[in-house]
Amino acid sequence: MNKAIAVIGAGNGGTAISAYLASQGASVRLCDLFPQYIEGIRKNGGIELSLDGRTEFHRLELVTDDACAAIRGASLIMVVTPSFTHRMIAEKIAGTLEDGQVVVLNPGRTCGALDFLNCLREKGCAADVVIAETQTLIYSCRRIGEARAEIYGVKKEVDIAAFPADRTDEVLALLHPYYPQFRPVSSCLVTSLSNIGALFHPTPVLLNIGRIETDKNGFLHYIEGISPAVANLIHQIDLERMAVAAAYGAEILSAEDWLKKSYDTYGDDLYELLQHNKAYQEIKGAHSIDVRYVTEDVPMSLVPISELGHIAGVDVKNIDAVILLLSSIYNRDFRAEGRNVERLGIRGLNRAEVIAFLQSGKKA
């Protein structure tokens, strides 16, 4: 196996990560399953990266829409795509993965690593691979035009965990030469249950659904869409998320503490912290109900939190209510199509068995 790094996903995060890794001397192969997203990069042979006031061109070893060609022999595979594509990617590469390869989901959302590896096993992949997930994307960044990426900010710390948890050090050994910011946590339960998007995305869409469909002028998602009453429901959902984490022994931050740690904001409660967060001031609300804040964050974030809660006997009635109401509104069964116990491979396991499974990768 060589030192090549494969990056799957040519969106904002994937182009930024590819260009940065190439700037650090890595041999980078960039893949996107949709060829229209890589035409400009392939034509240019690489990506222009704007970072710290400088813009420099960085050549890539390979630009392709063939995921198997991209990962073949690569020691590290960085998946930088929306979570609803994770299974599609796993199905594509299942037959090509080799012993010793490491796949990192940037980020995993909730239970991403577990879902990804379970999909590989369903497709007959027997390779000894490690799947890791990050709590969030390391960059604030944007892809500009055909072949340029701009990095606006780099997070000082990003939590990461492997599945199984006892192999996180193998992942860090590959990442730290490029990204010392990654900080190991006890298991994927920590990264998964720290998914703040599960709180701040679906519920405001649900409670502003009429406005989204009829208000031609639009509105600001956080500042106008999260009123004191909406913030109160989000807070109740957060208490349920925290209770699920406590049941599994995962130490995570409350939404309020996360906001205080992540941003320059202030306030006595969740509503005030959101209102005073300058980073959220201009973020616009959805213009239609066909928005990833629901179609991704409900099945890939709220559903697995709910499923873990049910296994542990935790009351998650508010989370369940949001899943049920949005499923009815969208005429979709988000629980059935989401990361449920079947897709995660944990049906029939109890709380202690789930914890042990995430630690060792083996079922009792």
User: Which of 19, 266, 3, 297 lies closest to 139, judged by CA?
Assistant: 19
Q: Give the model confidence (pLDDT) of 285-312 as tens digits.
A: 999 999 999 999 999 999 999 999 999 9
Is residue 201 part of the annotated active site? The answer reads yes
DSSP letter string over 44-62?
Answer: HTEEEEEETTEEEEEE-SE
Topology, domain 5-192? Rossmann fold (3.40.50)
The average pLDDT across 246-265 equals: 93
The average pLDDT across 160-177 equals: 95
> Hey, do 5-192 and 197-360 end up sharing a CATH topology, with the first three levels equal?
no
Q: Give the model confidence (pLDDT) of 132-164 as tens digits.
A: 999 999 998 999 999 999 999 888 889 999 999
CA distance 146 to 140: 19
pLDDT band of 120, cuts 50, 70, 90 = very high
* % the chain with pLDDT above 70: 99
Q: Can you give the residue ranges of every domain in the chain?
A: 5-192, 197-360
Does the pLDDT of residue 3 top 90, yes or no?
no
CA distance 310 to 328: 21
Res 92: pLDDT: 97
Res 175: pLDDT: 97
pLDDT band of 127, cuts 50, 70, 90 = very high
Is residue 269 part of the annotated active site? The answer reads no
Query: Tokens representing 35?
Result: 């060829």
Res 356: pLDDT: 93
- Indicate the class that CATH gives domain 197-360: mainly alpha
Q: Which of 32, 159, 238, 297 is catalytic?
A: 297
Q: Give the model confidence (pLDDT) of 212-225 as tens digits.
A: 999 989 999 999 99
CA distance 363 to 339: 19
Res 1: pLDDT: 55
Strand partners, 154: 139
Q: Which of 58, 86, 201, 221 is catalytic?
A: 201
Res 256: pLDDT: 97
